[in-house]
Structure 1
Amino acid sequence: MIVFFNNLKRCLSLFFMILICSCVNDNGAIVQKDVVDYVNPYMGNISHLLVPTFPTIHLPNSMLRVYPERADYTQDLIHGLPLITTSHRGSSAFNMSPFNTLTNPLEPVRYYSYDNEKITPSSYQVYLDDDRILVDYAVSHQSAKYKLTFEASEDAFLMLHSKRGALSWDGTAVSGYQFIENNTKVYVYLKPLVAPDKVSILKEGIQIQGTFTEGNQAAIILTFHNNRVNFALDIDYGVSFISEDQAKNNMLREVSGKTILEIKNKGKEIWNQALGKLKVEGGSEDDKTVFYTSLYRCYERPVNISEDGKYYSAFDGQVHNDNGRDFYTDDWIWDSYRAHHPLRVLLDPGKEEDILNSFILMSEQMEHFWLPTFPEITGDSRRMNSNHGVAALIDGYRKGLRNFDLKKGYQAGKNAITQKTLAPWSGKPAGELDDFYKEHGYIPALYEGEVETIPEVHPFESRQPIAVTLGTSYDEWCLSQLALELGLDEAYHHFLKQSYNYRNVFNPKTDFFHPKDKDGKFIEPFDYVFDGGMGARKFYGENNGWVYRWDVPHHVADLIALMGGRENFIHNLNQTFAEPLGMSKYSFYAKLPDHTGNVGQFSMANEPSLHIPYLYNYAGQPWKTQKRIQKLLKTWFRNDVMGVPGDEDGGGMSAFVVFSQMGFYPVTPGMPVYNIGSPTFKSVTLQLSNGKSFKIIAKNNNTGNKYIQSAKLNGKVWDKPWFSHEALRDGGVLELEMGAKANKTWGTAPEDVPPSAKPIYPGSE
């Protein structure tokens, strides 16, 4: 009976959490909205420079993802109808093209003029206006349903396309596969609920008799003789990374026998449950749209690829039993460790444990027992720099997650950092560059025109010596903390000392991290804005020296000490937001295309910048964190098609928005504390998996009242600009009294700053 009432209480709580959102219609009446109704998949679909967001249709962390295949929102045509997208920014692995009129030659995928498009997180509608075909679509986890309505009373055609694979008709359904890369295949099983009158294949643009086709641009055509207006064709399909039979099983399990409305309603229910774990009150309708759209983005990856207790692993090319635990991949850890993983620890700790367990399984399945850095559907692509999987492991463990093997995780992380090369975009074993790092504590830089001779360095990339030195220093701090948790005293002290290696490239004359040559001399002359070529990769990585100046999240107190104390640290922070671009935008972005969303030299568009506005908390001026966070959110994240400042990375940046709008942020994954910012809403309630809730109340909160005047934590006066994960986990209330002018005394005392490692490691100097 107790269990019954506890479950009832949770259900009612979620029910009211979902229904509490409301808005006023044009007639002034209050209209209740589900939280999923606040999601705008079009937000950010026009990029400021590089990659836009995509209006992705999927269920939370599910394998099947699709979106209209076009460059961005401005493109006038869509390229076929998608069946599955195997990466959050890739093209569809299979395309489906309905049409009424045969052309000669016939292209394997048609381009469509379209109108009246409507996208929700789990459904899609569009009118193909030239072809007069209405498309309705609803998605499940590994299968989906299309409903095509052909308005013309003439023959209807349906063409299925695989770029590099095979398709066949067995008298009931089309099945087949497509090669992606790294010997990975994706399979499809597609069943029209009306039998075709004719089946043919496409050969060099010509329709010929046949029921099987393979190779490049394989296409099969189903013909339906039709003399009715508004001929409706329902199509069920499933996808798989295991086999065609498994794709069929996925379809039968999830969508067969269901109407498209039933699938839509189920999808909406699932999204409401996921998004409803966070309830907000106050703020504008646009604020809520930005919040819930950003939260929806955080569920786009990684993806669960377990299918009926099995999964295909591209890490060893085998099908494995999942032993009752879901297997996740497509996680770009280079950026997701900062806020994406910490957010999931709060909202889905069980799922996060499965993700961390998947990292360890990947390590065991690969040739070397190395923690992955950029695991995708097709294996670990080893992109970007550093080995930040260790950060996700220690952050989860420190916040109470236990359902993964910490010892194996530590060993895989240690191997990745000490046995694999530190050279970015490379999966080769450690070599000359790594030997130098182990001896001297930094990655040496090359002078302009100096030819790269080290084979571990990717031929397209470069050493990125500052980015790698700083990133590895943090990774080694994470290793030290993992070793501490495991009682490995010698390893703890070794890696803790290594975690100060960023000091080896700090230039005390300029207060920047400055590349050094192999002889220990700073590269001179040097420009912290522009040197480093395209993307500043010769020395940094996608961002310039002004951003990497702050990339020491584990030892902020030591960074303050390096800069000579609080006053100069604050001065340097202020200058980051004030320093001009130094040349025209055209010239600046030609060199630094990832460095958009600028406020001075600060870039809101790239993940290495996300923690920077919170650093004022460490130096006695939390009011400036409050000011900057509000301005950054209002400026760069908006409810419109250009409302995201840069490459959003499928949740990597959106997690910053979710945290910051709630009013706090995890500056240092691995330290179980949160920095307080300035909340967007009057109240935010986090429904925790342990049945408890944590609530943030911002009294007198509005657009003008961005500054914290005073605070209470669980009824007691709280003068610190941070709070612990333990306080959040145990449930409670953080009350913030807000005002229009800064309280320049709240949270400023040296003893009240957020925790950080000691300024100097004993014995290091």
Structure 2
Amino acid sequence: MISNSVFKLSVLALGTVALVACSNSEKKQIAAESYVDWVDPLIGSGGHGHVFVGASIPHGMIQLGPNNNKKGWDWCSGYHDSDSTIIGFAHTHLSGTGIADLGDILLMPAVSVIDSAGYLPSSAYVSTFLKQEELVTPGFYQVKLHPSGVNVELTAGERVGMHRYVYPSDKKAQVVVDLENSAQSLMLREGTISSELQLINDSTVVGVRSSDEWAMNHTVYFRSIFSKSILNSRLYAKEKGKKMVLDFGILQEPLLVKTAVSYVSSEGALANLEAEHRTFDEVHEDAVELWNDALSKIQVEVKDDNVKKMFYTALYHTMISPSVFQDVDGSYKGADGKVYQTSDFVPYTIFSLWDTYRAVHPLYTLIDTRNADYVNSLLAIYDQQKSLPIWHLAANETSCMVGVHSIPVIVDACLKGFSGIDVERAYQAVKSIREMNDNGLDFVRNQEYIPADKISWSVARALEYAIDDYAVAQLAKHLGKEDDYQLFMKRSKYYAHYFDSDSGFMRGKLADGSWRLPFDPSHSLHMEDDYVEGNAWQYTWLVPHDPQGLVKLFGGKKQFVEKLDSLFIVSSELNEGASIDITGMIGQYAHGNEPSHHILYLYPYVGERAKAAKLLHQVYDSFYKATPDGLIGNEDCGQMSAWYIFSAMGFYPVNPVDGTFVFGSPLLDRVTMNLNNGKKFEIIAHNNSQRNIYIKSIKLNGKPYDKFYITYEDIMNGGVLEFEIVDILN
């Protein structure tokens, strides 16, 4: 938790109070609770967490924060805790991804930029900073730059980033506008492919940057307005990237900069800017209020402050993306490159679906009112690009990872009855997986399995497709489409083709029907393997839609439990060249990557809930720490955090579309969920402690409850769930 003294200092630095009076007593109570005080945005900024560090509002278009000068995989968000350099403050960022992009439209205050007729090198304005002179809270970022001595404060609205620079009183105040540098792409693409910069009057700069990075056709327009007159300017152009130095002379007052972005047009950026009439302090105050309101969706009590800090930081991380992708006039760029206009829904972007279908979107179905917008965004993308979205980024289909996991997200929202979604339209979209041919789906349709000698990552792809097919089947059943239901249920069981009963692993099968040799269940390579970011030990369990079917493949409960036990006690050693994403090891269980996230929750399906509880606490204690390197793997747009949020409350959505949440072992003493239907659901863990970790009994609304899961319907009806926690189960 940020100390009160530090928080008060930040308030004084802003010259305003962080919280404003609200219009009703409930909002005042939320503000008084100050949930933002429990958030540390630097958690996950070290190690391999890759989280965004800077100022934003929940699901806003703007993520305004620093870009370090150093590049590499651990700088995917533009920032890493190990670094103490800053090359500029960019208005767009990804959070937690394993590939870099965005980091667009950098502004950098400076005092002694080299006045050269040639090109302006980054070394002329890169700065350093001290960690003790950096402050980050939800909606706010502050740092002092060296050697310039400029103090930087940032905050953000929905489509506008706000900067406040305080310069030394004896040095010329300058700002570098940089359209060349961004978050480094790891895709070996071109980077900046074109840019334009124009000074249109003595206080306004406009421009556009296009890039070919992870998103191959990415264009961002912007407009910046400055509170002081620009006395001189110089444009630098080198190949495709442009920079401009603005000189304001000696300033005795702070320089304020307001920057709006648009993915549609320069006119869109102007409209977004003109819609923002608030001052820096007002924008910051509103950002804090928005974050307090969003974080108050789940109110918790726990004796350990570090657990509370981890919980609210995790909740914060699930609310950075998906991000608004529409200008104030309703226009947005479609997946086909055309401009669309709609008032029927709010389009969003940044859908890390391979990660987020597992727990992030199920969390949204409980506490987020934007679910219909997310689904309608995915359906609009389907209409525009004529294929279901896989990993969508700023009007670009990256096709990243395996599976077609817009399907379970769409289906889950439809089955849970969210209004504003055309369910028949949704069904026509999701059932199109049957006709898809890419990435082995033609083999699924024609011969029921993907040959390992024909398609890479064959096992990983097929297991994920089976989950998608199961989701389609459930929506077909809901709509009374019996033939389709039977077809897709049959496809959902094709995972069995990959199970080798002799070894007890999911394995790659060749076109002639034989197993691929040689076989080592601990072996993993990045591109030339049957698995992706994992090995046979992790992928063998990826049947969250049919755990009982998986138990039967093993020959019964006894054999299943013995194999599952062995996962956690075998050597954690990995081969040379194994994926860097395989982290957070307990035996060969790898919590640092998504395919493992449901595995601990398979124990309750076979009556071994105590084993799950013990391992859950090992994960809590080892892999979630309130430090910059406190996340064991990529945050992945909220999935690493969503696992923690659910697990800390006491349950997890193993099957992403059946509306059940499997019980584990709660960390929190009391939880109040403010559900998106207006009701409240309370969770009480009686006698919860570090020693007491096992659920002895459960009550729902005062009555004994004997299931190993709770349903979405029971939660959304509101009420009280009570766990009786003990240290030893008889």
Q: Kindly tell me: are residues 488 and 183 of structure 1, through their superposed partners in 2, closer, same or farther at Cα, counting changes over 3 Å?
A: same
Counterpart residue number, 2:53: 55
In the alignment, what sits opposite 2:126?
A: 111
Mapped pair 1:726 → 2:713: yes
Determine the structure 2 residue equivalent to 1:101.
112
Q: Does the Cα contact within 8 Å between 1:162 and 1:216 map onto a contact in 2?
A: no
* Partner residue, 1:555: 546
Shift of 1:46: 1.4
> Match for 1:85 among 80, 93, 111?
93
Distance 2:611 2:155 in 1: 46
Question: After the TM superposition, which residues 112-131 of structure 1 pair with which residues of structure 2 at under 5 Å, given as runs?
Answer: 112-115=127-130, 116-131=133-148
Q: 2:641 — aligned with what?
A: 654
Note closer, same or farther for the CA distance 1:199–1:17 as it changes in structure 2 (3 Å cut): closer
Q: Secondary structure at the match of 1:93?
A: coil
C-alpha distance in 1, partners of 2:634/2:424? 35
**Alpha-carbon shift at residue 498 of structure 1 (Å):** 1.3
- What SS does the corresponding residue of 2:503 show, helix, strand or coil? coil
**Does the aligned pair in 2 maintain the 1:577–1:601 contact within 8 Å?**
yes
Residue aligning to 2:404: 387
How far is the alpha carbon of 1:94 from its aligned partner?
A: 1.3
Q: Which residue is equivalent to 1:439?
A: 446
The code of the aligned residue for 1:444 comes to P
Does structure 2 retain, via aligned residues, the 8 Å contact 1:188–1:238?
yes
**Residue identity matched to 2:221:** Y
**What are the within-5 Å matches in structure 2 for residues 355-370 of structure 1?**
355-366=374-385, 368=386, 370=387
Between the aligned partners of 2:106 and 2:284, the Cα distance in structure 1 is 22
What secondary structure sits across from 1:534 in the alignment? coil
Q: Displacement of 1:16 after TM fit?
A: 4.0
State how far apart, in whole Å, the 2-side matches of 1:580 and 1:631 are. 17
**1:437-586 map, 5 Å:** 437-446=444-453, 463-530=456-523, 532-534=524-526, 537-582=528-573
The alpha carbon displacement at 1:414 in A equals 2.0
User: Which residue is equivalent to 1:28?
Assistant: none
For 2:346 and 2:443, how far apart are their aligned partners in 1? 40
- Say which SS state the counterpart of residue 686 (structure 1) adopts: strand
Cα 1:351–1:10 change in 2 (3 A) is farther
Structure 1 residues 730 and 13, CA, compared in 2 at 3 Å: closer, same or farther? farther
**Structure 2 SS opposite 1:503:** helix
AA in 2 matched with 1:419: E
- SS, match of residue 287 in structure 2: helix
Alpha carbons of 1:16 and 1:681: their partners in 2 closer, same or farther (altered >3 Å)? Answer: farther
Give the letter for the 1:244 counterpart.
S
- 1:554, 1:668 within 8 Å by CA — same for their partners in 2? yes
Alignment partner of 1:145 is 2:162: yes
> Aligned to 1:251, which of 253, 257, 273?
273
Looking at structure 2, the residues matched to 626 and 689 of structure 1 have their Cα atoms a distance apart, in angstroms, of 29
Q: Deviations over 1:559-596 (max 9, x none)?
A: 1111111111111111111110245xxx55x3131110
Change (3 A) 1:338 1:154: same
Partner of residue 189, structure 2: none
Query: 1:202 Cα shift?
Result: 2.1
> Matches of 1:101 and 1:524 in 2, distance apart?
63
1:683 correspondence with 2:670: yes
* Cα 1:676–1:17 shift into 2, 3 Å: farther
Alpha carbons 1:118, 1:126 under 8 Å: kept: yes
Specify the alignment match of 1:190 in structure 2.
Answer: 224
Is structure 2 residue 428 aligned with structure 1 residue 421?
A: no
| Residues 5-404 of structure 1 aligned to structure 2 (within 5 Å) | 12=25, 15-16=28-29, 19=32, 34-48=34-48, 52-70=50-68, 71=75, 72-85=80-93, 89-103=100-114, 105=116, 106-107=120-121, 110-115=125-130, 116-163=133-180, 164-171=194-201, 172-181=203-212, 182-203=216-237, 216-226=240-250, 230-254=252-276, 256=277, 258-348=278-368, 350-366=369-385, 368=386, 370-404=387-421
Alpha-carbon shift at residue 12 of structure 1 (Å): 4.7
CA distance in 1, matches of 2:727, 2:438: 48
Deviation at 1:516, TM superposition (A): 0.9
Partner letter of residue 320 of structure 1? Answer: Y
Amino acid at match of 2:165: L
**Aligned AA (2:62):** L
State the TM-score, normalized to the length of structure 1.
0.85
CA contact (8 A) 2:222 2:259 kept: yes
Task: Check whether the contact 2:443–2:449 (CA below 8 A) recurs between aligned residues.
Answer: yes
| Contact kept? 1:94, 1:160, Cα under 8 Å | yes
Cα deviations by residue, 1:63-97 (Å, 9 ceiling, x for unpaired): 11122112311112111222333776535211112
1: CA distance between counterparts of 2:677 and 2:604?
30
Report the TM-score, using the length of structure 2 for normalisation. 0.89
C-alpha deviation, 1:203, in angstroms: 4.7
Q: How many pairs were matched up?
A: 673
Task: Give, in angstroms, the shift of residue 517 of structure 1.
Answer: 0.8
**Equivalent residue letter for 1:260:** F
- The answer on whether the counterparts of 2:271 and 2:329 sit within 8 Å (CA) in structure 1 is no
Aligned to 1:751: none
Question: What CA distance in whole angstroms lies between the structure 1 residues aligned with 2:52 and 2:676?
Answer: 30
Task: State the 1:435 CA deviation.
Answer: 3.9
Task: Say if 1:391 and 1:475, in contact at 8 Å, map to a contact too.
Answer: yes
Question: Helix, strand or coil: the match of 1:652?
Answer: helix
1:723 Cα deviation after fit: 1.0
Q: Which amino acid aligns with 2:50?
A: P
Q: For each residue in 1:323-381, what CA deviation from the matched residue of structure 2 results, as whole angstroms up to 9, or x when unmatched?
A: 24100111011111000110001111x30111001111111111x2x211111104111
- Change in 2 beyond 3 A, CA 1:19/1:626: farther
Deviation at 1:218, TM superposition (A): 0.8
- The C-alpha deviation readout for 1:281-308, integer Å capped at 9, x for no partner, is 1231110111011111101111111212
Measure the CA separation in 1 of the matches of 2:270 and 2:222.
8
**Structure 2: how far apart are the matches of 1:525 and 1:245?**
59
Q: 1:648 to 1:345 in 2, by over 3 A?
A: same
Q: Distance in 2 between matches of 1:42 and 1:52?
A: 10
Are 2:648 and 2:667, in contact at CA under 8 Å, matched by a contact in 1? yes
SS of match in other structure, 1:475: helix
Q: CA RMSD in A?
A: 2.0
Shift of 1:104: 5.4
**Following the alignment from structure 2 to structure 1, what is the Cα–Cα distance between the partners of residues 172 and 65?**
27
Contact 1:334–1:373 (8 Å) recurs in 2: yes
Per-residue deviation, residues 657-710 of structure 1 (Å, max 9, x unmatched) = 111111111100110111111111110110112221001100111111111121
Residue 422 of structure 1, CA deviation: 4.1
**SS class of match (1:542):** coil
For 1:381 and 1:695, how far apart are their aligned partners in 2? 40
Q: Report the Cα offset of residue 421 of structure 1.
A: 2.7
Please give the alpha-carbon distance, in whole angstroms, between the structure 1 residues aligned to 2:435 and 2:651. Answer: 37
Quote how far apart the aligned CAs of 1:47 are: 1.7
Give distance in 2, aligned partners of 1:613 and 1:444.
30
Q: Is the 8 A contact 2:537 2:589 kept in 1?
A: yes
Letter in 2 for 1:317: G
Q: What is the percentage of aligned positions where both structures have the same residue?
A: 30
Deviation track 1:392-431 (CA, whole Å, cap 9, x = no partner) reads: 122112222232122222222222x2233341xxxxxxxx
